[in-house]
Amino acid sequence: MTMVDLVIRGGTVFDGSGGPPVVADIAILGDRIVAMGAASFEGREEIDARGLIVTPGWVDIHTHYDGQMTWDERMTPSSTLGATTILAGNCGVGFAPARPDDHDTLIRLMEGVEDIPGAALHEGLKWNWESFGDYLDAIDALPRDIDVAAQVPHGALRVYVMGDRGARREAATAEEIARMGELVRDGVRAGALGFSTTRTLVHRTADGDLTPTLGAAREEMVGIARGLREAGSGVIQVASDFAVIDEEFALMCELSEISGQMLSFSLVQADVVPDRWLELLTRLDGAVERGVNIRAQVAGRPVGLMLGLQGSAHPFISRPSYQAIKDRSLGERVAIMRDPAFRERLIAEAPLKGHPFINALAGAHHKMFVLGQPPNYEPDPATSLGARASALGINPDELVYDAMLADDGRAFLFFPLHNYFEGNLENVRAMLENVNTLSGLSDGGAHVGAICDVSLPTTMLTHWCRDRSRGPKLDLSKVIRGQTRDTAEAIGLFDRGRLAPGYLADLNIIDFERLELKAPHMVYDLPTGARRLMQEAEGYVATIKSGTVIYRNGAATGSLPGKLVRGRQPAPAVLAAE
């Protein structure tokens, strides 16, 4: 009997191909799968997976761990929720290339766009790099639980080449465009998986300024695409408003064609343009039919704000009485807010001007829900706090106020910002089932005070494949393929996302019937003790990275086999001709 390092016995194996599962043993030697089936292998360690499902590890292609992966060995909460590979550097924000004079600018950009506390970034970032290659070296020097990869961010690139002119969104000269293209080429050659940019008004710096890349001219974007063509590799990721949809979509197709690489863009349903997603999906299908290598990244649930006293947003932030106590501790604020006179006064107050987003949100009671335990990401509109208040004949702010004080002020309300215009996820299902979309937009590591969508891959299993009651479910095999093989291959990682001999031994062993997300909660473990939303799940029996068990039932084992992934990775030689 052949000895190997690890054998997983008798699990129901979903191999990432999208085909039906099979009951099989999996033999692992070193960091690779060496055999599957009923082979005669003995493991130095064995895991009994009978009655459990076995899947490839999740490959999350849209995260913002750009800072965290320079100081933290663990990419939590992604790694505790089944991810074994994450791609950072999305939406054009990041920290390289960077000169010393750029540091504050890039921190303010990341703080504003991705809601990562600036104080934590100032404390955590060591800045022992200037070029993008130097940045990758700094990441590579730290042991870690899972594999990480990065993209060259347009914001940092533009500021590095143009200085303050770049930050002020001035037009780049021909020489500056050429330099940007060279730096992107060099970044990809050093190991970047691609390039990212943002072209949306929603993204702002911490000072409220527009991002450096908003409105970057076609000539600049084409120059960068040519840099990718010279590198011969590297995806493009774009966040855009599609305000002028003909012009913007044509540009994206052009960038993919010039670079010779896959381009993906973020696709959500926004309430202000509720049919735009469908128009974009139609254009996407047409472009792919013409041979354009373009995809849309979609989320499997609403982009949901967590509204609460510990977070970045809640409906009463702009009320004068709350402003007077906003800097007090949570316990002090809760004690004050439990006073009936304070409650009556605050609810009766008009909001202060100068808070347009919060004030618009505060009036949307029909989109405020008690999240529940386990969290309900497709709540019935009849259960919204607005609907409940209407049924009771009371001011909805009374219900919102009381709900936020639950659990001593630690409770969060769920506010589906995008993807919930009709009050259900049927449009999301249409996005997910389109063959030209990719599972993404988890934003792991970002929006730490307001959004906790990092658990999207788990929701895909629990909600879409098992629990959904408000519409059709999705096929488990296809969902697993969608967040393993499909995402891995989309970004050029052909050595993972499958369970087959020769592939990296990145796996999840899951008690599917017991799999359950817990409600998000706030922790204070970023540098300087800054806050971030955290979420756990029951049912991940084991997560295995490169043949090593890194988490058992959500608890870290202490092993850190993860690495920096530099550039595209070829398929295993044994299957290269598949």
Q: 3-class DSSP state for residue 182?
A: helix
Contact 295, 270 (CB under 8 A): no
Element (H, E) at 22: strand 22-29
Enter the tokens of residue 393.
């004949």
Distance CA 183, CA 135 (A): 13
Which tokens is 175 given? 């020489």
CB-neighbour burial class of residue 376 (10 A; exposed 0-12, middle 13-18, buried 19+):
middle
Domain spans of the chain? Answer: 89-132+151-301+421-451, 309-418
Q: What three-state secondary structure class fits 24?
A: strand
Provide the terminal-to-terminal Cα distance of the chain, rounded to the nearest Å. 29
Q: What is the pLDDT of residue 574?
A: 67
pTM (predicted TM-score): 0.97
Q: How many CB atoms lie within 10 A of CB 431?
A: 24
Q: What is the pLDDT along the chain (578 residues), one digit of tens a residue?
A: 789 999 999 999 999 999 999 999 999 999 999 999 976 889 999 999 999 999 999 999 999 999 999 999 999 999 999 999 999 999 999 999 999 999 999 999 999 999 999 999 999 999 999 999 999 999 999 999 999 999 999 999 999 999 999 999 999 999 999 999 999 999 999 999 999 999 999 999 999 999 999 999 999 999 999 999 999 999 999 999 999 999 999 999 999 999 999 999 999 999 999 999 999 999 999 999 999 999 999 999 999 999 999 999 999 999 999 999 999 999 999 999 999 999 999 999 999 998 999 999 999 999 999 999 999 999 999 999 999 999 999 999 999 999 999 999 999 999 999 999 999 999 999 999 999 999 999 999 999 999 999 999 999 999 999 999 999 999 999 999 999 999 999 999 999 999 999 999 999 999 999 999 999 999 999 999 999 999 999 999 999 999 999 999 999 999 999 999 999 999 998 643 33
Burial readout 166-196 (b: 16 or more C-beta within 10 A, e: otherwise): bbebeebeeebbebbbbbbbbbbbbbbbbbb
Q: What is the C-alpha separation between 153 and 93, in angstroms, rounded?
A: 5
Domain 89-132+151-301+421-451, CATH number (from 1.10.3720.10, 3.30.1130.10, 2.40.430.10, 3.20.20.140): 3.20.20.140
Spatial separation of the C-alpha atoms in residues 401 and 319, rounded to whole Å: 12
Mind listing the pLDDT tens digit for each residue in 318-367? 999 999 999 999 999 999 999 999 999 999 999 999 899 999 999 999 99
- Contact 136/190 with Cβ under 8 angstroms? yes
The answer to whether the beta carbons of residues 13 and 23 sit under 8 Å apart is yes
Phi, psi of 173, rounded to the nearest 5 degrees: -75, 170
Q: Return the sign of the alpha-carbon dihedral for residues 144, 147, 152, 155.
A: negative
